[in-house]
Amino acid sequence: MNNIIRKAIDLIKSIDEISIISHTSPDGDNVGSILAMGLALKQMGKRIKIIKTDIIPSDYLFLQHVDMIQEYDEKDIELLIVLDCSDIDRLGKLKDIVSKSKNTINIDHHISNTAFADYNIVDSKAAATGEIIYLFLNQMGIEIDEEIATCIYTAISTDTGSFLYESVTDTTHEIAAELLRKGIDKNKIILNLYQSRSMERTNLFIDCLSSFKTYHNNKIATVMVTQDMLKKANAQMEDTEGIISFVKDTKGVEVACLLKENSEGIIKASLRSKEYIDVAKICSEFSGGGHIRAAGCSINENIETAEKLIVQKLIDMW
Ligand SMILES: [Mn+2]
């Protein structure tokens, strides 16, 4: 066991009340990881607070104990565990919580992680934060029960596009196998995560895909979602989940870009690449970050200009 992990475990053991937090715009790795960690520490007899940074997408509400995720109560924090966050800005309005907490642990798998905590357990080779959590809980001697296993499986499955991404390794599959042996209901998880798309979301997909454009010999593909489209489909921004993979899966497309106009008119761009373009590098040019094959950034321009800027940057750096 490495020294930092040992020290982090000692710290957790020495503190009774522990807070856990993850990034805004929660995904499955976020929700699955914070719940798994919360349930595990509760099992150790700790008092746990899981702090809500944002609305939890409906996809993850099937997870038991999701109601453990609560609004921040402004009380002093003895130990804060931050999961799946590359930097403190990912905590949105709550980013000051890190400097206000007495002790901090950061567990993450983003290559761009800024090591903002007292103890930083960052493995950019892990396919999901859930993968690191699994290994960490084992090292802590926690009994991974069916509920914890369901949360970790959700984290890993969603962050790997159902075990499709390049980031998936033999370790990922070994962990998944171990989780299945804990008696999780895999079919129920899959039904909830991937086979329960709302009618609103399907309608948003149709509208959004009509904005499909390609550049650079069809190697770059873009789609956009505006506030008007959301209104028309009666959908939320979280309903864009899955659109970018659909675009990327087009033959010949190396980079897919989804531009999302948020309610303040700021454009959030998500980029995915298939084989060789480092989209984290492209996004870092716009003060964003992420992984080689999945990254994002914000651009304070109208959506058409934002699209032009990103496409131009991609072509310049190709
Ligand atoms: Mn993640």
pLDDT of 231-258, one tens digit each? 999 999 989 988 999 999 999 999 999 9
Strand 17-22 and strand 79-83: the pairing is parallel
Q: Are residues 256 and 219 in the same domain?
A: yes
286 CA → ligand 1 middle, Å: 20
CB 293 within 8 A of CB 272: yes
Q: Are residues 186 and 240 in the same domain?
A: no
Domain that holds residue 299: 199-317
Q: Residue 57, SS3?
A: coil
Q: Are residues 70 and 86 in the same domain?
A: yes
Q: Are residues 134 and 278 in the same domain?
A: no
Q: Please report, for residues 39, 58, 76, 182, the alpha-carbon distance to residue 288 in angstroms, rounded to integers and kept in the order given.
A: 32, 26, 30, 38
Mean pLDDT computed over every residue of the chain: 96
Q: CA 296 to CA 110: how far, in whole Å?
A: 12
Residue 291 has pLDDT above 90, yes or no: no
159 CA → ligand 1 middle, Å: 6
Query: How many Å from the N-terminal Cα to the C-terminal Cα in the chain?
Result: 40
What pLDDT does residue 1 have? 72
Query: Which CATH number is 33's domain given?
Result: 3.90.1640.10
Number of structural domains (the chain) is 2
272 CA → ligand 1 middle, Å: 14
Last residue of a domain, one of 146, 174, 194: 194
What pLDDT does residue 183 have? 97
CB 128 within 8 A of CB 168: no
Residue 185 has pLDDT above 90, yes or no: yes
Q: Are residues 190 and 215 in the same domain?
A: no
CB 244 within 8 A of CB 256: yes
CB 279 within 8 A of CB 295: yes
Cα angle value 127/133/138 (rounded, 5°): 120
Which residues on adjacent β-strands are paired with residue 222? 213, 257
Q: By mean pLDDT, which of 98-107, 119-128, 136-145, 285-294 is the weakest?
A: 285-294
Q: CA 134 to CA 65: how far, in whole Å?
A: 18
| Greater pLDDT, 57 or 31 | 31
Q: Are residues 148 and 263 in the same domain?
A: no
Query: Which CATH number is 266's domain given?
Result: 3.10.310.30
- Rounded to an integer, the average pLDDT of 104-114 is 95
Last residue of a domain, one of 194, 216, 247: 194
3 CA → ligand 1 middle, Å: 24
156 CA → ligand 1 middle, Å: 8
Residue 158 has pLDDT above 90, yes or no: yes
Tokens of 159: 């962050």
Q: Is 161 left (phi over 0), alpha (psi -120 to 50) or beta?
A: left
Full-model pTM: 0.87
Confidence category of residue 284, pLDDT binned at 50, 70, 90: very high
Torsion over CA of 170, 26, 135 and 35, rounded to 10 degrees? -130
212 CA → ligand 1 middle, Å: 27
Q: Please report, for residues 20, 81, 131, 132, the alpha-carbon distance to residue 11 in angstroms, rounded to integers and kept in the order given.
A: 14, 11, 21, 18
Residue 227 has pLDDT above 80, yes or no: yes
151 CA → ligand 1 middle, Å: 13
Which protein residues have a CB closer than 5 Å to ligand 1 (ion)? 29, 84, 129, 159
78 CA → ligand 1 middle, Å: 25
160 CA → ligand 1 middle, Å: 9
Q: Are residues 127 and 152 in the same domain?
A: yes
Tokens of 236: 């939320």
Question: What is the secondary structure of 253-314 as a DSSP string?
Answer: --EEEEEEE-TTSPEEEEEEESSS--HHHHHHTTT-EE-SSEEEEEE-S-HHHHHHHHHHHH
Q: By mean pLDDT, which of 87-91, 95-99, 291-295 is the weakest?
A: 291-295
273 CA → ligand 1 middle, Å: 16
Beta strands in the chain, from DSSP E residues, in sequence order:
17-22, 47-51, 69-70, 79-83, 103-108, 119-122, 213-215, 220-225, 255-261, 267-273, 289-290, 294-299
